[in-house]
Amino acid sequence: MARQITFSCNLWYRTQIKAIVFERIDMKKPIILGCAITLLSSCGLLSFAPSVDAKVTTNLQSATASMSHIAACIELGSCAGKNQISQVEDRYVDAFSNANLALSIAEKTETSGDRAAQAKELFVEEIIACRDAIKRQFEAHKQFASLQNAGLAAPNVVICELATDASRALSRL
């Protein structure tokens, strides 16, 4: 008897769901599609890139802003070489620490699927490239009398800018 009631309830419930979802509303295909997508997604097949913490973007933006400031200072000649580096030393420290912080947060990003893992790896490499660029420029700034017109500062800004763009796009996902 109990089994019969359970069966009847089940049947009633299923009929109601069917009526609500599949018959009264013509949404059969989207629901099936939704379920298929959910299934594919759970296997990581629809995962191409992970969503990244917005803090990474904030840190990279600060690093890029500092690098841009230093580049302008070098090109205008007001802190072109080793004798004036003290004017922008704080900016270098700020840029480097922000890039490092961004890297440590980005490395913790969780991924599902091979392609999302590949995207994370590419993103982490972009941040490392930005951090290395800051260090390379700082070392050169300490060593040479002038970096003005050397063609060194602008590419380094580009490296950090691209990492920031990628971070912005990833945090929007």
Contact status, residue 64 vs residue 94, Cβ threshold 8 Å: no
Stretch that binds other proteins, among 28-36, 59-67, 89-97, 103-111 (CB under 8 A): 28-36
Tally the residues of the chain: 173
Pick between residue 34 and residue 93 the one whose CB is nearest to other proteins: 34
Stretch that binds other proteins, among 7-15, 56-64, 89-97, 140-148 (CB under 8 A): 140-148
Pick between residue 7 and residue 20 the one whose CB is nearest to other proteins: 20
| Nearest of 107, 90, 112 to residue 56 by alpha carbon | 107
Q: Is 155 in the site for other proteins (CB under 8 A)?
A: yes
Q: Is 42 in the site for other proteins (CB under 8 A)?
A: no
We find the least distance from the C-beta atom of residue 1 to other proteins, in angstroms, to be 33
Q: Is 13 in the site for other proteins (CB under 8 A)?
A: no
For other proteins, which residue of 1, 5, 26, 108 counts as binding (CB under 8 A)? Answer: 26
Q: Is 106 in the site for other proteins (CB under 8 A)?
A: no
For other proteins, which residue of 34, 72, 78, 83 counts as binding (CB under 8 A)? Answer: 34
3-state SS of the chain is CHHHHHHHHHHHHHHHHHHHHHHCCCCHHHHHHHHHHHHHHHCCCCCCCCCCCHHHHHHHHHHHHHHHHHHHHHHHCCCCCHHHHHHCHHHHHHHHHHHHHHHHHHHCCCCCCHHHHHHHHHHHHHHHHHHHHHHHHHHHHHHCCCCCCCCCHHHHHHHHHHHHHHHHHHHHC
Residue type, 23: E
Q: Is 154 in the site for other proteins (CB under 8 A)?
A: yes
Residues that bind other proteins (CB under 8 A): 20-21, 25-27, 29-31, 33-34, 37-38, 41, 46-49, 115-116, 118-119, 122-123, 125-126, 129, 132-133, 136-137, 140, 144, 146-147, 149-152, 154-159, 161-163, 165-166, 169-170, 172-173
